[in-house]
């Protein structure tokens, strides 16, 4: 067993429901086989377990590992394509990279860059939007297994209105997805996610196949995009006889507790109600929303309807892997909404980046650092003299420390990352 000694910040109870930031300065977490089995003042934990090894993390702040609920593996090399709205950005920057995933050795290189990028940002769990090619998916799951990340991902499916080399058929989609799920679902920390790209590029027949796959792979998640951009929404309405975007999934039984839909910037009240009743989660990706000019996320309405919300980086439309940056941008978006916005504290941002994500991804074993959870954690310790180090030194209290971490922190400030108590090597 190992005792981790340090200052631990987490959000076991939602700040949206009366909870707050939990701060334990100079605490000890006793970890056995990756699980936190005791937690308390360091000296008490030390006295009760005098023979155990101590890992000293004092001088920094320990946070739970981040949970990224929406990030595209093939798009790491497309980050930074500024200046276009969604559909034009896809054609110009994202889809050419998606097509290059046909080359298995190219995909393997990207997979390595991708999992390193996640881990370096303090992200320990992610729902990853995969590639359109099965060999590329094998490369992703292999790379993730090597690093040890908790990855849920799947083959991306489309059968219309994309570059022809990215298209599949319902029969092929079913066979390739099932074969991948048989190879990777429940193997190590990997899980499978049934992943139609968006209903804009999927026929009803393909979406029905997705439902069949959900039944064939118990415990799989379902993920896609919804209500991101107004031109996209209008096209979806045309394609599906005027029905709303959420209904295109819901009428195939694809809106329930296993569902995570990215964006939802422009939902109707009817759609929010459908998501809430189904128990689906929304991946809010604020840097992507800003970069593509998609809009300002209506968080207040999601909360009013009781829709679960967590954070996603949406690399490559998003501007990087760090959920610190996504948290800050989520805060900005709510500020810009004025009366319609939901003022967010640092505790809200940490909750959205950790506990809410674990809930959205059906990962009850992670999300905060309570007894019974796995030790997935990150040490934030900025370089001496950096603006973040200065900010932390002069913060009035620990909530201010956390606000400064979200404001000034980058992956460079994440000094170490653990999953199941194992230190990852950057």
Nearest-approach distance from CB 72 to Zn ion, in angstroms? 6
Residue closer to Zn ion, measured from CB, 11 or 152: 152
Select from 19-27, 105-113, 258-266, 416-424 the region that touches Zn ion (CB under 5 A): 258-266
Residue closer to Zn ion, measured from CB, 97 or 314: 314
Q: Which of 397, 303, 301, 414 is nearest to 356 (CA)?
A: 303
CA 209 remoteness from chain centre: 25
Residues 271, 245: contact at Cβ < 8 Å? Answer: yes
Nearest-approach distance from CB 129 to Zn ion, in angstroms? 6
Nearest-approach distance from CB 61 to Zn ion, in angstroms? 30
Select from 247-255, 262-270, 297-305, 389-397 the region that touches Zn ion (CB under 5 A): 262-270
Which residues share a beta bridge with 126? Answer: 68, 151
Residue closer to Zn ion, measured from CB, 12 or 295: 295
Which ranges in 189-322 belong to alpha helices (H)?
Answer: 204-216, 230-239, 245-250, 269-278, 286-291, 299-305
Q: What is the Cα–Cα distance from 389 to 70, expressed in whole angstroms? A: 30
Q: Which of residues 268-327 bind Zn ion (CB under 5 A)?
A: 314
Residue closer to Zn ion, measured from CB, 115 or 315: 315
Nearest-approach distance from CB 71 to Zn ion, in angstroms? 8
Residue closer to Zn ion, measured from CB, 220 or 315: 315
Residues 330, 352: contact at Cβ < 8 Å? Answer: yes
Residue carrying structure tokens 């340090």? 6
Nearest-approach distance from CB 261 to Zn ion, in angstroms? 10
Residue closer to Zn ion, measured from CB, 262 or 380: 262
Select from 111-119, 257-265, 333-341, 350-358 the region that touches Zn ion (CB under 5 A): 257-265
- 122-144 burial, b at 16+ Cβ within 10 Å, e below that, comes to bbbbbbbbbbbbbebbbbbbebb
User: How many chain residues touch Zn ion (CB under 5 A)?
Assistant: 2
Nearest-approach distance from CB 262 to Zn ion, in angstroms? 5
Residue closer to Zn ion, measured from CB, 221 or 402: 221
Which residues share a beta bridge with 151? Answer: 126
**CA distances in angstroms from 231 to 96, 149, 286, 318, listed in the order given:** 21, 36, 19, 19
Nearest-approach distance from CB 93 to Zn ion, in angstroms? 13
Q: What is the Cα–Cα distance from 368 to 364, expressed in whole angstroms? A: 10
Which ranges in 66-161 belong to alpha helices (H)?
Answer: 86-89, 95-100, 104-120, 134-147
Q: Which residues are near Zn ion by CB under 5 A?
A: 262, 314
């Amino acid at each position: 067993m190992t005792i981790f000694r340090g200052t631990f910040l987490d959000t076991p109870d939602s700040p949206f429901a009366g909870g707050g930031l939990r701060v334990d300065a100079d605490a000890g977490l006793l970890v056995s086989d990756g699980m936190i089995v005791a937690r308390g003042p360091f000296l008490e934990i030390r006295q009760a377990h005098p023979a155990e090894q101590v890992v000293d993390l004092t001088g920094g702040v320990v946070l739970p590992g981040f949970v990224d609920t929406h990030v595209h593996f093939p798009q790491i090399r497309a980050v930074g394509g500024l200046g276009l709205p969604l559909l034009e950005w896809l054609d110009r920057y994202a889809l050419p990279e998606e097509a290059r995933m046909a080359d298995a050795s190219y995909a393997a290189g990207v997979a390595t860059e991708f999992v390193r990028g996640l881990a370096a940002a303090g992200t320990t769990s992610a729902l990853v939007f995969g590639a359109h090619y099965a060999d590329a998916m094998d490369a992703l799951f292999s790379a993730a297994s090597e690093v040890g990340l908790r990855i849920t991902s799947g083959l991306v499916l489309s059968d219309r209105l994309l570059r022809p080399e990215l298209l599949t058929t319902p029969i092929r989609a079913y066979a390739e997805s099932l074969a991948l799920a048989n190879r990777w679902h429940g193997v190590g920390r990997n899980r499978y996610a049934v992943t139609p790209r968006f209903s804009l590029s999927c026929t009803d027949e393909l979406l029905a196949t997705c439902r069949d796959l959900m039944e064939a792979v118990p415990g799989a998640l379902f993920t896609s995009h919804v209500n991101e951009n107004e031109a996209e929404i209008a096209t979806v309405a045309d394609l599906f006889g005027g029905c709303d975007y959420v209904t295109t999934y819901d009428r195939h039984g694809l809106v329930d507790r296993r569902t995570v839909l990215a964006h939802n910037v422009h939902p109707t009240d009817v759609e929010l109600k459908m998501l809430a009743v189904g128990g689906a989660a929304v991946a809010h990706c604020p840097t992507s929303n800003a970069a593509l000019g998609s809009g300002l996320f209506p968080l207040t309405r999601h909360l009013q309807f009781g829709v679960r919300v967590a954070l996603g980086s949406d690399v490559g439309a998003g501007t990087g892997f760090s959920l610190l940056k996504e948290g800050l941008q989520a805060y900005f978006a709510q500020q810009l909404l004025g009366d319609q916005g939901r003022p967010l504290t640092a505790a809200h941002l940490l909750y959205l980046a950790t506990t809410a994500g674990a809930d959205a991804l059906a990962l009850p074993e992670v999300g905060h650092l309570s007894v019974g959870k796995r030790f997935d954690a990150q040490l934030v310790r900025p370089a001496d003299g950096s603006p973040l180090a200065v900010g932390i030194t002069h913060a009035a209290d620990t909530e201010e420390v956390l606000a400064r971490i979200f404001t000034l922190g980058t992956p460079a400030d994440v000094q170490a990352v653990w999953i199941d108590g194992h230190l990852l090597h950057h």
